[in-house]
Structure 1
């Protein structure tokens, strides 16, 4: 089974990405820069949802929680302080900012299952992020903002890292999704990302139970999904995906066992130092 490795020191890009591409999952424990980042994110969350945001679903309607989740994501994405804290986090764990590209931090909100409706709240089904990007050098970073539980978190399926999983990647075209969005068309019938058509059993899942202040790194080729939230608390977590430009140039990355996307979305990723795009859609 793929190993989860707990570390407290920075790891240089070449070593870290090689380990992640081989299927290792690395948790950086109690990083001061991560704590600073989540403090900034917590300020945003409470500004939008009030005090005790993990109980907001008991005070607000589902529609109100959903709409505010969209506003929260936009506010976080536009905040230069968040971008600065993200770069500080990456430097603290050994990432070379000058050669690394990211897609921007995404603030995630997941209320209890009965209230998890709509694009910004619904749990994500089993998928590999590389099914959408088609970039095998992709690395995912994930961390909670408030404490989580096995029933309120992200789950990985590490035994499926090298095992083919039937999925919709061959029929999913980001260019078509982008066209619909730009045209103002309804996209409810077009998924935001490819999904597994025959998801593995939840018995194969490994729920992630890291603490606020920890950050987990794993290959974008790792199969993962949201755990349906069966607790009485809303989950707040963040995620960001990165690409090593050096690894893309050298053709390094995780194995592609089942991704068949017709395009490669280089334009999603921008250099952490100056915002230069990794490339254009191919």
Structure 2
């Protein structure tokens, strides 16, 4: 049975991962690294989106917010203070940098529903990240930059962790997505990432109201989605995915109950300690 646990001390790699692989949702409370990361990201947000970033949708249209969000993602990726704070937070949670690989910190920006139209800002439908990566040892990490509410956050559907759901991952090919993006071709008729084909029961959704400075840890196999933003404030959050190399090699992982993509995206992940890739695409 899935448990949602508040954690106030590091969990060693084996213990934490075993809990994640069986479906537990862990919230590491008020990590010093996450507070430093939140403050640094907030500086970038105010620089680009004004003194009140949560009101950016009143000053910019959807295309402008998408462009600014993409620029911010690039800026965060070049900021060494961001990387140091992120890695410090992961170490506080018990992550071992020499055996753990990550796919890069992502900023997600979700304005109120009418302002969300791009890859960075569009609310995400219900999906498992593992439908795209095929890496069943994948762990997801998520944290809000500014306070969230149940109407402006991420939702998990823990009842579906071991329950198959209809989805469009069958035959989905990451190589096709990459080919189209390299050539500038549209993805209108091809999913950027696989999603459900039928909306799950909304009563099963758990809207996660954690605090800035908290860091939520859950399996990439958990079904999850954006809560459509029905408030008058833009939501800013951070996410990253990790893989423990020993677990991946040994087959210690979450169950694959319904993923059918044709490739495994090992190349998404780089080792925290030195940037070495986990592997190629197979």
CA shift for structure 1 position 76:
1.1
| Deviations 1:21-61, CA, capped at 9 Å, x for gaps | 00100000111111011111111111110111001111222
1:187 corresponds to which residue? 187
What is the DSSP-based 3-state SS (H/G/I as helix, E as strand, rest coil) of the residue aligned with 2:275?
coil
Alignment of 1:90-105 (within 5 A): 90-105=90-105
CA distance in 2: counterparts of 1:175 and 1:195, whole angstroms: 17
Cα drift, residue 75 of structure 1: 1.2
> Residue 101 of structure 2: SS of its match in structure 1?
strand
Residue in structure 2 matched with residue 225 of structure 1 by the alignment: 225
Contact persistence 2:145–2:238 (CA under 8 A): yes
Distance 2:264 2:78 in 1: 25
Contact map agreement 1:169 1:194 (CA 8 A) in 2: yes
Consecutive aligned runs of 4 or more in structure 1 exceeding 4 Å deviation: none
1:187 shift after superposition: 2.6
Contact 1:21 1:254 in 2 (8 A): yes
Q: Deviations over 1:89-129 (max 9, x none)?
A: 11111100000000000001000011111222110000000
Over aligned residues, Cα RMSD in angstroms?
0.9
Match of 1:268 in 2: 268
Tell me if the contact between 1:165 and 1:199 (Cα under 8 Å) persists in the aligned partners. no
Residue in 2 aligned with 1:153? Answer: 153
Shift in Å, 1:80: 2.1
Partners of 1:61 and 1:261 lie apart in 2 by 35
State the alpha-carbon separation in 2 of the partners of residues 199 and 257 from structure 1.
17
Q: Give yes or no for contact 2:33–2:87 (8 Å, CA) kept in 1.
A: no
Deviations 1:124-176 (A, max 9, x none): 00000000000110000000000000000000000000000111111311000
Other structure's SS at 1:155 match: strand
Q: Closer, same or farther in 2 for the Cα pair 1:2/1:244, shift >3 Å? A: same
Q: Is 1:32 aligned with 2:32?
A: yes
* Unmatched runs of 5 consecutive residues or more in structure 2: none
What is the TM-score when the length of structure 1 is the normalising length? 0.98
- Aligned mates of 1:190, 1:84 — CA distance in 2: 36
Please name the residue that 2:281 is paired with.
Answer: 281
